[in-house]
A and B are shown apart, each in its own frame.
Chain A
Amino acid sequence: MAQEVNLDSLKELEREAILQVLYRDQAVQSIEEERIRKLQTQLQHLRWKGAKSAGREYTGKSCARCQSVLGLLLHRGAVCQGCSHRVCSKCRVFLRGTHVWKCTVCFEDRNVKIKTGQWFFEERAKKFPNEGKHETVGAKLLQSYQKPSKISVVPPTPPPFSKSQCGSSPGRLQELGQFKGFNKSVENLFLSVATHIKKLSKSQNDMTSEKHLLATGPRQHAGRTERRSQSDTAVNVTTRKVPTLDVLKPLNQQDSKSATLPVLKQGNHAANLMPRRSFSGGSRHGSLISINSTCTEMGNFDNANVTGEIEFAIGYCFKTHSLEICIKACKNLAYGEEKKKKEFFCKTYVKTYLLPDRSSQGKRKTVVQRNTVDPHFQETLKYQVDPAQLVTRWLQVSVWHLGTLTRRVFLGEVIIPLATWDFEDSATQSFHWYPLRAKAEKHEDGVPQNNGELAVRAKLVLPAGPRNSQQAPEGTDEPPPNGQLCLVVLGAKNLPVRSDGTLNSFVKGCLTLPDQQRLRLKSPVVKKQACPQWKHSFVFSGVTASQLRQASLELSVWDHAVFGVNDRLLGAARLGPKGDALGAADSCAQSKLHWQKVLSSPNLWTDMTLTLH
């Protein structure tokens, strides 16, 4: 008597007969598993559709399933015994012949258990806890025997039963219990590949649409501060070809994995809405800083009255240089929909940045939690950051409402300077509730609003020799034919570097003349430097002093991406008669002074350090 299930003791013809049966069974099993998968998917959809899920608190003023408002006296609803949620009378299913009812989701949950045979597996697990869910006894046998053929009749042998097999049973059961269904494992493999591909493609949407937003930047800061033309969006359609290289980096894996669902939605929304956004773009900050992230960073969001708290923990592993922010929950959040103060409309997610880096690479998001003002996230957002970089950063944790199509609603934020954070103290690593705050006004939150400093040397070259432009009234001045604005971009420091502490940076220069003519120049890329030294000359020729007096020069520093299209804007500064409208008043005045000095002292180098915004 064989101790384990194999066909070795059988004749070849018998073996083949049994293998035939096993193959047929395999076909039946795979159909069944496909069916079960469909059923489970359907139930999942019903759960998502239904508002409240088990284990979540809610105020109970609306039906947990259809969201209809429940009254105080009439239509009060009743609590489902299954999930303890209050539901209206329409969302109950009475079990036949009784007054016992369940809510639609509990009822469907039960149905799915029946239809999938889950009830049986649960019952069986009481006796065989190690049993695989869908055991296929023949699966393992099939793996070792592969050649089925015809068989003939086997003569009968006496059938007595003996108890002797019982002795061998425990070991055999164990052995069988460890069978991994063959079909199952192949299917799992396929499934995991398929889902992986899905995830990747979803993430790709995310990346492309964000780049799409990012790429609208250059035109904006080329002189027009408040508005961008609608055609910007059309121009950047090409950015959809953006490779998903970033997504594949281990750094971002956690993010792309955990944020699959909301990311897809936001990506789509953002893409759809670009034309509309572009008219209001930058109205809040009017700042270049906005360009290096998504629309929310551009001030394209609504503000709710910030209420509530967020619970999270921060941990940093000095060995792996991994910063982990474990977002647990929020409570008492403001309603994202001002007019519809119902939990049904709540779609909340949490986003983090390691300021001053507001780039998409530095963004982490949780999935969207729906239907509650007290969402539970239980998600860990990870960064790879060098310890040296860590202390220069501020952790910004912001809570957002994913509005219908057009909008994000800001629900509050917490900003934590990591410089003073004690990562070795276990107390600081545990979960804490932090009160959410309204968006800090500039300079109030301690977060530097500058994105580094750019050292530049500039000179106005006028062939007619030195002239005092201050003495020449603008209207009467004859323009010298071949004026040149020479610029040497020396270097930059304190840039918002990548989390590995480096950059592949380059500088773009754009001189906008009074007739809106633009002259653009670009420096080479300096690789892997946090404080790049380009020492690169820009020469804008064919300009006159009077033109320059009304012109503006914008210098922007970029982090070069491999394929160019998703270069990241690190910061920019503007020189011109109106000064740097992007920055604060003092830097505005400073840039105005610099510009005047350059224009008033032709053929002499003027050194300046520009603050990037």
Chain B
Amino acid sequence: LFFPYPQMASATDSRYGQKESSDQNFDYMFKILIIGNSSVGKTSFLFRYADDSFTPAFVSTVGIDFKVKTIYRNDKRIKLQIWDTAGQERYRTITTAYYRGAMGFILMYDITNEESFNAVQDWSTQIKTYSWDNAQVLLVGNKCDMEDERVVSSERGRQLADHLGFEFFEASAKDNINVKQTFERLVDVICEKMSESLDTADPAVTGAKQGPQLTDQQAPPHQDCAC
């Protein structure tokens, strides 16, 4: 289903070695931004998803980076441009500049790092400030494979997500848990938002929230998210 991506030896190499899918063979393009404190695993999360690779070595992202992945979802080929941002404060002006182009966000914290969880509220404020009003956000507690070092319980994560109005996942880039599901869910909620925004402007289908399927009558029903 997905494009075969070469296994990369290291994150640094793959950063320059990846091929962008340069064809136009897709139906639409979503831009997604991954944000969160430094070292919560944003880059690893993206590499797992885009390249199905993982390296335990920590490489701090310089400013911004992105990867492109085309997925097949709800009978549509969707090209994702996923922006990976530096968590570090010093790059903040650059990273926040990219908020405005993003349709959806993955806000990530590290379940073994209390501080990263405490910063979620602030990151959320950042989104509200710099992004469009209907920005779709998924809260992701990463490193759920490190159960022994957990300091943020699933319950706290879920409560905070509910409080902020985000959907919530715990995931592990290392063990490839919920990575794909996170992205696919985000794509789905963006699609829903898309239909909503088109249909509220359009009296013909007001109230008929059909999700992404609305766009194509031939498409078979695919209501469930894969998580």
List residues of chain A with CB under 8 Å of any chain B CB. Answer: 1-2, 4-5, 7, 9-10, 14, 17-18, 20-21, 24-25, 27-28, 31-32, 34-35, 38, 80-82, 93-98, 100-102, 106, 110-111, 113-117, 119-120, 122-124, 126-128, 131, 135-137, 151, 153-163, 165-166, 169, 172-173, 176
Q: Is the CB of A9 within 8 A of B90?
A: yes
Asked whether any CB of chain A lies closer than 8 Å to the CB of B224, the reply is: no
Q: Is the CB of B217 within 8 A of A93?
A: yes
Asked whether any CB of chain A lies closer than 8 Å to the CB of B194, the reply is: yes
Could you tell me the distance in whole angstroms from the C-beta of A470 to the nearest C-beta in chain B? 87
Could you tell me the distance in whole angstroms from the C-beta of B195 to the nearest C-beta in chain A? 8
Q: Is the CB of B16 within 8 A of A20?
A: yes
CB-nearest residue of chain A to B220:
A96
Complex interface bits, B95-111 against A, C-beta within 8 A gives 1, otherwise 0? 01110110100000000
Given known A-B contacts A98-B208, A163-B122, A115 and B27 have beta carbons under 8 A apart: yes
Q: Is the CB of A176 within 8 A of B89?
A: no
Complex interface bits, B49-76 against A, C-beta within 8 A gives 1, otherwise 0? 0000000001110111110100000000
Asked whether any CB of chain A lies closer than 8 Å to the CB of B172, the reply is: no
Q: Is the CB of A110 within 8 A of B37?
A: no
Partner of B133, one of A80, A81, A127: A127
CB-nearest residue of chain A to B191:
A114
Choose the segment among B137-145, B156-164, B180-188, B197-205 that binds chain A (4+ C-beta atoms closer than 8 Å).
B197-205
Q: Is the CB of A165 within 8 A of B92?
A: yes
Chain A residue numbers with a CB within 8 Å of B217 are 93-96
Given known A-B contacts A21-B66, A32-B29, A110 and B215 have beta carbons under 8 A apart: yes
Chain A residue numbers with a CB within 8 Å of B62 are 14, 17-18, 151, 154
Partner of B93, one of A98, A115, A172: A172
Q: Is the CB of B134 within 8 A of A135?
A: no
Q: Is the CB of B198 within 8 A of A110?
A: yes
CB-nearest residue of chain B to A93:
B217
Could you tell me the distance in whole angstroms from the C-beta of A250 to the nearest C-beta in chain B? 40
Chain B residue numbers with a CB within 8 Å of A116 are 28
Q: Is the CB of B130 within 8 A of A113?
A: no
Given known A-B contacts A2-B93, A159-B39, A161-B122, A123 and B132 have beta carbons under 8 A apart: yes
| Contacts A/B (CB < 8 Å), 27 sampled | A4-B93, A10-B91, A21-B65, A25-B81, A28-B20, A28-B66, A28-B68, A93-B217, A95-B217, A96-B214, A98-B205, A110-B198, A116-B28, A119-B197, A119-B198, A120-B103, A123-B133, A131-B100, A136-B101, A156-B38, A156-B60, A156-B88, A158-B38, A158-B89, A159-B87, A160-B115, A169-B130
Greatest chain A CB density within 10 A among B12, B198, B201 is at B198
Asked whether any CB of chain A lies closer than 8 Å to the CB of B119, the reply is: yes
Q: Is the CB of A165 within 8 A of B12?
A: no
Q: Is the CB of A161 within 8 A of B89?
A: yes
Q: Is the CB of A24 within 8 A of B132?
A: no
Partner of A166, one of B89, B129, B221: B129
CB-nearest residue of chain B to A179:
B97
Q: Is the CB of B205 within 8 A of A159?
A: no
- A64 CA / B221 CA spacing, docked (Å): 31
Greatest chain A CB density within 10 A among B60, B97, B103, B205 is at B97
Given known A-B contacts A24-B20, A34-B24, A95-B205, A137 and B68 have beta carbons under 8 A apart: no
- A123 CA / B194 CA spacing, docked (Å): 9
Asked whether any CB of chain A lies closer than 8 Å to the CB of B22, the reply is: yes
- A160 CA / B119 CA spacing, docked (Å): 8
Cβ < 8 Å to A, chain B residues 135-185: none
Q: Is the CB of B194 within 8 A of A1?
A: no
Chain B residue numbers with a CB within 8 Å of A35 are 24
Q: Is the CB of B20 within 8 A of A96?
A: no
Given known A-B contacts A93-B217, A96-B213, A97-B221, A161 and B205 have beta carbons under 8 A apart: no
- A28 CA / B82 CA spacing, docked (Å): 12
- For the residues of B in contact with A, the DSSP-based class is mixed
Asked whether any CB of chain A lies closer than 8 Å to the CB of B14, the reply is: no
Q: Is the CB of A161 within 8 A of B37?
A: yes
CB-nearest residue of chain A to B90:
A157
Chain B residue numbers with a CB within 8 Å of A159 are 37-39, 87-89, 119
Chain B residue numbers with a CB within 8 Å of A28 are 20, 66, 68, 81
Chain B residue numbers with a CB within 8 Å of A96 are 210, 213-214, 216-217, 219, 221
Interface size class of B (residues with CB under 8 A): 35 or more
Chain B residue numbers with a CB within 8 Å of A117 are 28-29, 103
Given known A-B contacts A154-B60, A161-B123, A111 and B215 have beta carbons under 8 A apart: yes
Chain A residue numbers with a CB within 8 Å of B198 are 110, 113-114, 119
Greatest chain A CB density within 10 A among B87, B123, B203 is at B87
Given known A-B contacts A24-B20, A119-B198, A156 and B122 have beta carbons under 8 A apart: no
Q: Is the CB of B97 within 8 A of A155?
A: no
Could you tell me the distance in whole angstroms from the C-beta of A107 to the nearest C-beta in chain B? 9
Could you tell me the distance in whole angstroms from the C-beta of A526 to the nearest C-beta in chain B? 61
Given known A-B contacts A2-B93, A98-B208, A135-B100, A153 and B12 have beta carbons under 8 A apart: yes
CB-nearest residue of chain B to A1:
B93
Q: Is the CB of A120 within 8 A of B96?
A: no
Chain B residue numbers with a CB within 8 Å of A127 are 132-133
Greatest chain A CB density within 10 A among B63, B92, B205, B214 is at B63
Partner of A157, one of B68, B88, B98: B88
Chain B residue numbers with a CB within 8 Å of A120 are 103, 132, 194
Q: Is the CB of B197 within 8 A of A122?
A: yes
Chain B residue numbers with a CB within 8 Å of A80 are 204
- A36 CA / B220 CA spacing, docked (Å): 26
Could you tell me the distance in whole angstroms from the C-beta of A91 to the nearest C-beta in chain B? 14
Chain B residue numbers with a CB within 8 Å of A166 are 125, 129
- A117 CA / B60 CA spacing, docked (Å): 32
The 9 A-B residue pairs whose C-beta atoms are closest, nearest first, are A159-B38, A81-B204, A124-B132, A18-B63, A17-B62, A137-B97, A156-B60, A35-B24, A159-B37
Could you tell me the distance in whole angstroms from the C-beta of B107 to the nearest C-beta in chain A? 12
Q: Is the CB of A165 within 8 A of B208?
A: no
Partner of B134, one of A1, A123, A158: A123
Could you tell me the distance in whole angstroms from the C-beta of A414 to the nearest C-beta in chain B? 41
Chain A residue numbers with a CB within 8 Å of B130 are 169, 173
Chain A residue numbers with a CB within 8 Å of B98 are 137
Could you tell me the distance in whole angstroms from the C-beta of B40 to the nearest C-beta in chain A? 9
Q: Is the CB of A153 within 8 A of B60?
A: yes
Partner of B215, one of A20, A98, A101, A114: A114
Cβ < 8 Å to A, chain B residues 19-33: 20, 22, 24, 27-29
Could you tell me the distance in whole angstroms from the C-beta of A139 to the nearest C-beta in chain B? 11
Greatest chain A CB density within 10 A among B101, B115, B129, B214 is at B101
Greatest chain B CB density within 10 A among A93, A155, A156 is at A156
Could you tell me the distance in whole angstroms from the C-beta of A87 to the nearest C-beta in chain B? 13
Could you tell me the distance in whole angstroms from the C-beta of A257 to the nearest C-beta in chain B? 31
Q: Is the CB of A114 within 8 A of B28?
A: yes
CB-nearest residue of chain B to A17:
B62
Partner of B210, one of A17, A98, A128, A163: A98
Chain B residue numbers with a CB within 8 Å of A27 are 20, 22
Q: Is the CB of B101 within 8 A of A135?
A: yes
